[in-house]
Amino acid sequence: MSLVNLMLDKPVIDIEVLRKQVPMLNIEHDTHSFTYLDYASTTPMPTCVLQAMWDHETHTRSNVHRASYQLAERATQAYWQARQSVARYLNATKAEEIIFTSGTTAAINMLAYGLEHQLKAGDEIIISPAEHHSNLIPWQMLMQRKGIKLKWLPLSTDGRIEVSQLNQLITDRTRLVAITHASNVTGAITDLAVIIEHTKDKDILVFVDGAQMAAHGPIDVQALGVDFYAFSGHKCFGPTGIGALWAREECMTLLQPLMGGGGMVQWVTPEQSEFVTGYQRFEAGTPPIGQAIGFGIALEWLLSLPWTAIQKYERQLTQQTLNMFRNIPGLSLLGPQDSNQRLPLFSFQLDKCHPHDICHLLDQKGLALRGGHHCAQPLLDYFDVGAVCRASLSFLTLPKEINRLNQALIEAIEKLA
Amino acid sequence: MKSDIYQDGIKQLARTMIASNKLDQPDTSVRLDNRLCGDRVDIELCCNDGVVTQLHHKVRGCLLCEAATNIVAQHGVGATIAELENITEQLINFLNNNDNSSLPFISSWQKLNLFSPVSQHKSRHQCVLLPFQAVQQALAEICQ
């Protein structure tokens, strides 16, 4: 057995053993070994997550917060535990700071609508061209509804957000900085500390889109000093259709609810309603209970891992991939060249080969990569490209899979020549 | 899904794109994007009495999109609006049909038969269709 052993300050971790816990990674792809390199889009689920969801749907499927029979009590308890798991993963001060959503996109839309009543025409929100469409379009929609202004942080030539320029954008009308923690195209990690430095002691909220970052280790929202943080279950080894918006306790009270319905009211008359306070105010209707339970278990699974060792391993994978790409003629990589400034996520172009063609040929070799604009058209416009291939790795990626990518890329280039 | 969509005929078509100059006074201009992969086709058209008299194309796309655009570029001029509508409809059916036993295109459009293996790859249909849809949109604007 080929082992990747990591012996650091925690017990040895064997990536091959971890991979055995993830059924999707062990499927056969015709005659080829299956090589999944699209973790930035969706991560596979470990057996413990699948089992937890199966158990819930089989043994405790019932609605939460609405009945006192034992089944419903157990479902309510499991749903609450999932919220606690999210809070632990983010190091939130309490589980009540977690709002379940259907994912990061829903979380950002909830935030944009939630803050709308706090904003006036002419107020300013600062974003960057490196944002996923999910952290751009809700603010554009708010701009159209409310007449707020969007201001843009500049990018460096390798696509990093120039956070040091923030001070020059801030005015007395600045209300919010909405920024990605890490780009889904370049993998560049945003220096949030600089943003906090520039916004502290000012009446400016900071929202962070953690969709990409959260799969690469637990987050400490208290240490980051931000006000809102969003991420998705399906990018963190959990199910689709679930995510979370974390709001600092005092910031949650700023938000108006996006949706009305059951579960978010204190009382209702034919004329009006009184909403509850806290996270329940934002979770109208029957929530995705099974998904939330799976999400919580996925995060507990991640929390059980030795992250110092894993993050070192991910940096090694990053360096290996960077070295490999440097030796492929005609390959241009977007994003930082320094493995410490980026996630193991690589968008690239090849001379005279379109990403769609490359990804198609790689698929025929059993490698799953994504080609396209990755829902980041302003960023691709910045680089003056229409589409790129993206190989996105995780701690479950093996060095031999990167070698397999190398070989398959060379063969695809030859095929398309 | 082992069919080879990157056969020599397709590659040849993509690599030998006929030259095209922007039209001085196009009747209409259309830009169409494939929202999934970022492929982009620009088409300018002039029509007279229901016949395409001039056509300018520009493509930023994958091999399939380039090859399909080249076929449009080679055979679009001189085609009637009805013929182009018919060929587009036929191409959609051809790709959706997933039936490689029939190769329905004849005469000037027979090179479209090269796209037969694409029928098995639903996510790639749009790559082939994009230039045809751009032409359809342009014709629709002219006919308005």
Which residue from A253, A233, A309 is spatially nearest to A10, judged by alpha carbons? A309
Whole-number Å distance between alpha carbons of A245 and A107: 5
Sign of the C-alpha dihedral, residues A72, A77, A80, A85?
negative
Question: pLDDT (tens digit, 9 = 90+) per residue, A152-201?
Answer: 999 999 999 999 999 999 999 999 999 999 999 999 999 999 999 999 99
* Closest residue by Cα to residue A236 from A391, A19, A389, A394: A394
Q: Phi and psi (nearest 5°) for A301?
A: -60, -45
Contact at 8 Å (CB) between A182 and A170? Answer: no
State pLDDT tens for residues B19-52. Answer: 888 999 999 999 999 877 778 999 999 999 999 9
Integer CA distances (angstroms), A241 to A87, A226, B99, in order: 18, 25, 36
Instruction: Report the predicted TM-score, pTM, of the whole model to 2 decimal places.
Output: 0.91
Which residues of B fall below an 8 Å CB-CB distance to A?
Answer: 1-2, 5-6, 11, 36-40, 60-65, 121, 124, 127
Contact A357 B1 (CB under 8 A): no
Q: How far is CA B51 from CA A145, A234, B81, B84, in A?
A: 45, 52, 6, 10
> pLDDT value at position A9?
45
Question: What pLDDT is stored for residue A46 in this prediction?
Answer: 98
Q: In which residue ranges of chain B is pLDDT below 50?
A: 1-2
Cβ-based contacts of B6 with chain A (< 8 Å): 357, 360-361, 415-416
Please answer whether residues A243 and A107 qualify as being in contact, where contact means their C-beta atoms are separated by less than 8 angstroms. Answer: yes
Q: What pLDDT sits at residue A65?
A: 83
**What pLDDT tens digit does each residue of chain A (417 aa) get?**
344 555 444 445 799 999 999 999 988 766 678 999 999 999 999 999 999 999 999 999 999 987 789 999 999 999 999 999 999 999 999 999 999 999 999 999 999 999 999 999 999 999 999 999 999 999 999 999 999 999 999 999 999 999 999 999 999 999 999 999 999 999 999 999 999 999 999 999 999 999 999 999 999 999 999 999 999 999 999 999 999 999 999 999 999 999 999 999 999 999 999 999 999 999 999 999 999 999 999 999 999 999 999 999 999 999 999 999 999 999 999 999 999 999 999 999 999 899 999 999 999 999 999 998 899 999 999 999 989 999 999 999 999 999 999 999 999 999 998
Using DSSP, how many helices (H) and how many strands (E) does chain A show?
14, 19
**Quick one: pLDDT at residue B98?**
63
Looking at this predicted complex, what is its ipTM? 0.83
Is B37 in Cβ contact with A373 (below 8 Å)?
yes
Strands A243-247 and A228-232: antiparallel
**Interchain pair A357, B40: CB under 8 A:** no
* Burial of A347: CB neighbours in 10 Å, binned 0-12, 13-18, 19+: buried
Contact A186, A347 (CB under 8 A): yes
How large is the C-alpha radius of gyration of chain A?
A: 22
The one-letter amino acid at A378: P
For residue A334, which residues of chain B lie inside 8 Å, CB to CB? Answer: none
Dist. CA B144–CA B136, nearest whole Å: 12
A134 to each of A2, A155, A377, how far by Cα in Å?
Answer: 40, 19, 11
Expressed in angstroms, the distance from the first to the final Cα of chain A is 37
Q: Hey, are the CB atoms on A386 and B5 less than 8 Å from each other?
A: no
DSSP state of A119: -
A236 is catalytic: no
Interface of A with B (CB under 8 A): 30, 354-357, 360-361, 363-364, 371-373, 377, 380, 386-387, 415-416
Tell me the residue type at B84.
L
Q: How many residues does chain A have?
A: 417
Annotated catalytic residue, options A236, A353, A375, A389: A375
- Give the distance from residue B37's alpha carbon to the nearest chain A alpha carbon, in angstroms: 4
How distant is the Cα of A356 from the closest Cα of chain B, in angstroms? 6
Q: Residue B85 is encoded by which pair of tokens?
A: 């509508």
Angle formed by the axes of helices A399-416 and A355-364, to 10°?
Answer: 120
Cα–Cα nearest to A154, from A146, A165, A167, A168: A165
**How many Å lie between the alpha carbon of B116 and the closest alpha carbon of chain A?**
16
User: What is the token pair recorded at A86?
Assistant: 């999210």
Residue at A129: amino acid letter: P
Supply the pLDDT for residue A57: 96
Write out the two tokens for A33: 């070994």
At residue B97, the pLDDT reads 80
pLDDT at A31: 65
Question: Using CA atoms, how far apart are residues A166 and A130, in angstroms rounded to an integer?
Answer: 15
Rounded to an integer, what is the distance from CA A64 to the centroid of its chain? 26
Strands in A345-350's sheet, in edge-to-edge order, are: A331-333, A345-350, A388-392, A370-372
3-state secondary structure of A272: coil
CA A228 to chain centre: 14
